[in-house]
């Protein structure tokens, strides 16, 4: 898995460099440089869709163990930073999120169940968001060649995640524990069966709160839609203002590309290809589309690096407390 991620990262980097060289680095840089302080506005606006998505996650916790919103927002920010900047195949951040929530007193099974449920809700709402973008693209660009493959990919991913959801409901994690115990023929894995049982129960309890799951889906969808405002602001500061519908198309379909290339760290190179292809259907020239992708890279770095530093500070303080506790014994 690690080898595949590193190879894909190298391929993405090569593609990224090729696109910059092919389209003209100086022309792309002129667009980015012209944006100036507007890049900070783009990064600051990202807080809005992050907050909406955090509410969607917050709704998935039971009332009695629901963390404070600001704590959850902080943790979500760190998780996004891990996914965006580290070679973690878009799952490392989710593991970090579950861990940090558990460190704040939420039972581990509940913390993990909330993350798994949020991933599932996120995939289904993203599928709807992508189909919305496809419908809008069809209205704007007619029979564009991108429409059919995008619809096919969305439907395939949706079918797979419906299966993932159904497996969660029947008790996936207990079954995995039993399988590991039998294959490895070791009693040491019996704890995994017990933990898997409590995890499965927490997942079923989460999905059993249908009102909260529906509210989570609504807020997650709001986060997707509001995120198009980031594209709209970015193009405005780059000197190529578009209407919000075009921004919505770009956001929905570029997020679909990023989701499909989850094994590539930051979807490097492939995000740029997505912006070029989608932008061309909307009349946005390739250098401008690449400049738009770079504004998103700037956002990832400007928000992600502080998030990674905050994560290391949290973990470092915990290790220091543990070491001091061990010394006093």
DSSP state of 144: -
Cβ neighbours, 10 Å, residue 229: 18
Cβ neighbours, 10 Å, residue 134: 21
Q: How far apart are the first and last CA of the chain?
A: 41
Which of 1 and 25 is assigned the larger pLDDT? 25
pLDDT of 177: 52
pLDDT tens-digit map of 70-120: 999 999 999 999 988 887 656 788 889 988 998 888 988 888 889 989 988
Q: Does residue 141 have a pLDDT over 70?
A: no
Give the span between the Cα atoms of 192 and 199, in whole angstroms. Answer: 10
- For residue 28, give every residue at least 6 positions away whose Cβ sits within 8 Å of its Cβ, in sequence order, or none: 20, 287, 290, 291, 294
pLDDT of 183: 46
Which of 150 and 120 is assigned the larger pLDDT? 120
Q: Domain ranges in the chain?
A: 2-328
pLDDT tens-digit map of 235-292: 999 988 788 999 999 999 988 888 777 778 788 889 999 899 998 888 899 999 999 9
Any long-range contacts for 217-222 (C-beta under 8 Å, 24+ apart)? 217/56, 217/121, 217/124, 217/125, 218/56, 219/52, 219/53, 219/55, 219/56, 219/59, 220/52, 220/53, 220/56, 220/118, 220/121, 220/122, 220/125, 221/125, 221/128, 221/129, 222/52, 222/56
Q: Does residue 180 have a pLDDT over 60?
A: no
Cβ neighbours, 10 Å, residue 164: 14
Q: Does residue 219 have a pLDDT over 50?
A: yes
Cβ neighbours, 10 Å, residue 245: 16
Which of 120 and 175 is assigned the larger pLDDT? 120
- pTM, two decimals, is 0.85
Q: Contact, 117 vs 213, CB < 8 A?
A: yes
Structure tokens at 67: 């963390």
Q: Contact, 278 vs 253, CB < 8 A?
A: yes
pLDDT of 218: 97
């Amino acid at each position: 898995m690690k080898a595949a991620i590193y190879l894909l990262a190298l391929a993405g980097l090569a593609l990224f460099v090729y696109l910059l060289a092919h389209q003209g680095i100086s022309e792309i840089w002129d667009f980015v440089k012209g944006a100036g302080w507007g890049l900070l506005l783009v990064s600051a606006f990202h807080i809005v869709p992050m907050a909406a998505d955090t509410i969607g996650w917050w709704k998935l916790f039971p009332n009695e163990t629901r963390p404070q919103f600001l704590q959850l927002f902080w943790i979500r920010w760190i998780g996004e930073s891990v996914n965006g900047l580290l070679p973690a195949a878009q799952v490392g951040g989710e593991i970090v999120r579950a861990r940090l929530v558990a460190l704040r007193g939420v039972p581990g099974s509940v913390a993990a169940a909330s993350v798994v449920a949020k991933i599932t809700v996120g995939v289904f709402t993203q599928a709807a968001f992508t189909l919305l973008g496809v419908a809008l693209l069809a209205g704007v660009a007619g029979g564009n060649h991108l429409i059919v493959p995008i619809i096919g990919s969305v439907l395939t991913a949706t079918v797979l995640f419906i299966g993932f959801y159904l497996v969660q409901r029947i008790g996936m994690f207990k079954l995995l524990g039993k399988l590991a115990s039998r294959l490895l023929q070791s009693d040491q894995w019996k704890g995994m069966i017990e933990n898997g049982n409590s995890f499965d129960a927490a997942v079923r309890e989460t999905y059993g709160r249908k009102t909260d799951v529906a509210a989570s889906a609504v807020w997650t969808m709001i986060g997707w839609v509001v995120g198009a405002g980031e594209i709209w602001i970015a193009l405005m500061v780059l000197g190529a203002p578009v209407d919000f519908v075009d921004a919505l198309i770009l956001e929905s379909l570029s997020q679909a590309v990023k989701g499909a290339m989850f094994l590539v760290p930051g979807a490097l190179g492939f995000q740029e290809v997505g912006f070029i292809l989608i932008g061309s259907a909307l009349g946005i020239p390739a250098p401008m589309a690449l400049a738009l992708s770079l504004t998103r890279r700037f956002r990832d770095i400007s928000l992600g690096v502080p998030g990674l530093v905050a994560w290391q500070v949290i973990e470092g303080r915990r290790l220091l407390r543990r070491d001091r506790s061990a010394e006093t014994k």
